Amino acid sequence: MTLKRIDKILLFAYIGIHLIVALIYMLNLYDREWIQDFYFVIPLCYVFLIFDVYHKRFWNNKILFIWGLVGVIQLVFYYTYRDLPQIQNVNGNDLVWLKALPLTIVTSFILNLINKRIYGDNFIVTTLRLDSDRIDPNDGRKLRPADYLFSLAGFMIIIVGTVSTN
């Protein structure tokens, strides 16, 4: 399986947005305080987009590896710069959401692995698919209670795990 156009667009947009925000911050082109206050919006939106809408692409190991690599780079960046005094705030630091992507990748992988072990097929995130009688033509199966449970657990793991870990 090769990279599709959506894979390239999402990956380059994700990396590009982070690089643009970093350059704007480093070159002091915009109010740094505003960037620090609202930086969480970008990773948060992307993480939920990736976990909910894009999760089926993670069934492809190549895609999973590429996003995992981006996540590892973000973790290196986070642990390298997390102690800088200018990015500290009351709740930790402003880079905390860089941990969300790697946690999303790991969570998606583990939940899919558990689902494969129990049911023999891939896990489907149910946030946008609330009708349990709907049969997805790509998946060929109805949603199970486990899909709902794993979806809720996945979102909670990502949010709580990102914010509460150091």
Number of other CB atoms surrounding residue 135 within 10 Å? 11
- Cβ 56 vs Cβ 147: under 8 Å: no
**Could you report the per-residue pLDDT of 59-84, keeping only the tens digit for each?**
888 998 999 999 999 999 888 988 88
Give the pLDDT confidence score for residue 76 in this predicted structure.
Answer: 93
- Cβ 44 vs Cβ 102: under 8 Å: no
Instruction: Name the DSSP class of 64.
Output: H
Per-residue pLDDT band at 90 (split at 50, 70, 90): low
Domain ranges of the chain: 5-164
Q: Per the structure block, which two tokens stand in for 3? A: 């990279």
Give the pLDDT confidence score for residue 92 in this predicted structure.
Answer: 65
DSSP calls for 107-154: HHHHHHHHHHHHHSS-----TT---TT-B-TTT-SB--HHHHHHHHHH
Give the pLDDT confidence score for residue 126 in this predicted structure.
Answer: 80
Q: Of 101, 85, 119, 99, which is closest to residue 164 (Cα–Cα)?
A: 99
